Every structure is written in C-alpha cells, then in structure tokens.
Amino acid sequence: MSNFHSIFHVTLLLLLVIVLQNPRATECHTKGIRPGHSAVGSVIPINRTQAQLSEQQFMRWVKFVGGLKHSVFGIAMNKLFPSHTIHVSKKPGKGGFSSIQSAIDSLPFINLVRVVIKVHAGVYTEKVNIPPLKSFITIEGEGADKTIVEWGDTADKAAPGAKGQLLGTYGSATFAVNSAYFIGKNMTFKNTAPVPANGAVGKQAVALRISGDTAMFIGCKFLGAQDTLYDHLGRHYYKDCYIEGSVDFIFGNALSLFEGCHVHAIAQNVGAVTAQGRSSFLEDTGFSFVHCKVTGSGALYLGRAWGPFSRVVFAYTYMDNIIIPKGWTVFYGQYKCTGPGASFAGRVAWSRELTDQEAKPFISLAYIDGSEWIKSLF
C-alpha cells in the first residue's frame, strides 16, 4: 500500500473517532443565539422582581428552542438497522455470552455498525459500562419485568483501584452509556441501594447514566431511590418508560423528551421528580414530559434547580395529588396538564402556563431532532 493511501486511511479513521467522541459538536442544534446588547452589562431596573426576570429568561429560551434549525443525521440513518446480533443468557446452552459486559467487551474498540445485543430473560447482577467509541449498540431484553440488570453502588463507596477516591454520583451508575446512537428496549435498569434517610450524605445511587448523544429508550424501567436516572448529556428520547425514585430521580443537563412515561415517586417524606442542570442561558437543554403520568407517595416537587437556568416543561400530563401546591423551586412551563396535582392554585410566582404557540416546540419529536433519527425506526 502506498504512503498516500496509508495516510488517507489513518486520517479518515481519526475523523471518525472525533465525530463519535463529540457528536454534539457536528450534528447538534444550530446554535446561532447570542445575547443582545441589553443582556450584557445591563442594569436590572429596581422595580423588576426576581420572578419577572426569571420569566423573561424562560420565555427567551422558549423562543430560542422554537426557532432552532436542525441538521441531517446521515450517520445515524445509515446505522439504524442491525448488521450483527449477539445473545446474552443466564442459561447454559443458549449460546453467546453469560453477561452483558462480556458481550460489549467483545465488540471492536471502535464500533461503526449497528449491533443488537439480545438479552434473554433473567436478573443480571453486574455493573455495565459502554465506552465512548462503541457506538450504534442496541440492548434489547425480553420484557422489562423479565430482563433486569442491577447493582447497588452509591456515591460514597470507594472507587476501585483509586486510593482515597469515591465513586461519586457519576460512578455509581449500574449501567453507563458513554457512546452515541444507543438504543435500549424492554429492559430494567436498577440500582438496589435503599431509599436514604432524610439528610443522608453520599447516598446518590444511579440506575442508568446516559452521556452519549441521540439515545433512545423504549419500554424500559429505571428503578432506584435518589438520583435514579442520570440524563447527563446529549439528546434523548424515552417512550413508554417507567421511572421510579425518591429525590431528584430524573436529573442531568441533556435535551430530552419523555413521551407516554410513568413517573412514580417512592419518597418517604418530601421528594422531587426533576433536577435539571442547565448552567447557561446559551445552552439548549431541558426536559419535556408529554402525555406522561406522575404518581407515588410522599409530598413531591415537580422539580428543583440543579443549575441556575434549569428548565422543565410538562404537557398533557396527569399529576396525582402528591404534588406540593407550590410545585417547583425552578422556573418551568406547564401545558394542559390534568389531575389533582396539576392545579395552578398555590403555584409559585415563576411558574407559567404556556400558550399553544409557546408549547408547540416542546411536544413533538422535533424538540430533539427526532423527526430525522427516530421516526425511521418505526
């Protein structure tokens, strides 16, 4: 092979690595937003309350997301259909692998084809990690009630092989996805750590952490207590999923759409559903819950701030009577929700009922570019 061809192939490989390591840099929302002159160095009028300022910032975000232009996901479209299927089973004689992690480890260091890992019914007691360059992986169970992966780490546990270091919330995950274009189907991801006592420190226990872009979960269950689902980074779609926890059990700084999901609280006293971590007005991140259901025990906040610009929208969602009337410790939008917990009576001043036009960008797959990388799956 000539030197030219060798250099060409190495360069092409490096480009693929860069794309897969940072898909948001090349295929995410077109940014385009810049603060106006009044947003930099301006002085807030004395008569403007904090609630008014929060509402103004929130509505800027609503208009920004509504006006985003979306890119074409050529890479994803070419990798949606399986080219390789492998099996995982607890029963001897089924063939394939006996653990999920061993199946993942068998894949190439850089995976560029859609691989479906069929996980047969059973309880898989293991901690699973998918590296950044092993993209295009589908984990498919035989039903969320039949196919379970579980572990019991908490943030205060010592990190293996690191003297004096703790796992932290990030490292406590039972199942961690760091790669792009992941699909999870009909699986339960569980952290077995018990519900922590009020005021307990270091008891965050993540069932699943998703840090890759353009990920999709269908018919899955996420079970835990504090910090169950770490919706860390990227664009994600959750369809017909069940998410259970006590405090901040859906949290992170992703741009995610939850459609037809059941959110269930197991708080002993007071809990919170969401803790969205948007840290800058320029970030197009947030959680949108559409046609969902919120039930459970204890007294529940719909959300509380994890970042200074946290943003969450609930639309067409049923809310049980466990919702604390104030509802939120973070500015948010609500649209045509129902149930005894959906009433605006007693809501905090920074809550807002969105208009039809304002809600439109948040209640469809276009919110996460899904019209391009999700619809082709159905």
Number of domains in the chain: 1
Of 127-141, 179-193, 356-370, the one with minimum mean pLDDT is: 356-370
Is the per-residue pLDDT at 77 higher than 60? no
Q: What is the DSSP string of 245-302?
A: ESEEEEEES-EEEEES-EEEEEEEEEEEEEEE----TT---EEEEES-EEEEEEEEEE
* 101 occurs within a structural domain: no
List residues bridging with 299 in a β-sheet.
270
Of 81-90, 109-118, 186-195, the one with minimum mean pLDDT is: 81-90
* 65 occurs within a structural domain: yes
d(CA 266, CA 238): 21
Strands (E), 141-283: 147-151, 175-177, 183-185, 188-191, 208-210, 215-218, 221-223, 229-231, 235-239, 242-245, 247-252, 255-259, 262-276
What pLDDT score does 152 carry? 97
Is the per-residue pLDDT at 7 higher than 90? no
Is the per-residue pLDDT at 240 higher than 90? yes
Estimate to the nearest angstrom the gap between the alpha carbon of 330 and the chain centroid.
Answer: 18
**Residue 51 binned pLDDT confidence (cut-offs 50, 70, 90):** low
Residue predicted with more confidence, 242 or 324:
242
Using alpha carbons, select from 94, 60, 65 the residue that is nearest to residue 285: 65
Catalytic-residue membership of 145: no
Residue predicted with more confidence, 37 or 142:
142
DSSP letter at 215? E
Of 31-40, 83-92, 355-364, the one with minimum mean pLDDT is: 31-40
Which CATH number goes with the domain that contains 289? 2.160.20.10
Is the per-residue pLDDT at 1 higher than 80? no
What's the pTM value of the predicted model, to 2 decimals?
0.81
Average pLDDT of 261-270? 91
Residue predicted with more confidence, 11 or 271:
271
What pLDDT score does 194 carry? 92
Q: Are 62 and 361 in contact (CB under 8 A)?
A: yes
Using alpha carbons, select from 13, 30, 146 the residue that is nearest to residue 91: 146
Instruction: Give the rounded percent of residues in the chain with a pLDDT score beyond 70.
Output: 71
Using alpha carbons, select from 151, 142, 140, 131 the residue that is nearest to residue 216: 140
* 166 occurs within a structural domain: no
Q: Are 146 and 121 in contact (CB under 8 A)?
A: yes
What pLDDT score does 199 carry? 79
Is the per-residue pLDDT at 92 higher than 80? no
* 142 occurs within a structural domain: no
| Residue 199 half-sphere exposure toward CB, CA atoms < 13 A | 0
What pLDDT score does 294 carry? 95
* 272 occurs within a structural domain: yes
What's the chain's average pLDDT?
80
* 38 occurs within a structural domain: no
* 159 occurs within a structural domain: no
Burial class (CB in 10 A: 0-12, 13-18, 19+), 17: middle
d(CA 174, CA 207): 5
Is the per-residue pLDDT at 374 higher than 70? yes
Domain membership of residue 330 as a residue range? 50-69+246-378
Is the per-residue pLDDT at 154 higher than 70? yes
* 292 occurs within a structural domain: yes
**Residue 336 binned pLDDT confidence (cut-offs 50, 70, 90):** very high
Average pLDDT of 169-189? 97
Average pLDDT of 164-181? 95
Q: Tell me the per-residue pLDDT of 180-220, one tens digit each, with 9 for 90 and over.
A: 999 999 999 999 999 988 778 999 999 999 999 999 999 99
| Active-site hit among 153, 213, 231, 248 | 248
Average pLDDT of 82-87? 84
Is the per-residue pLDDT at 71 higher than 50? no
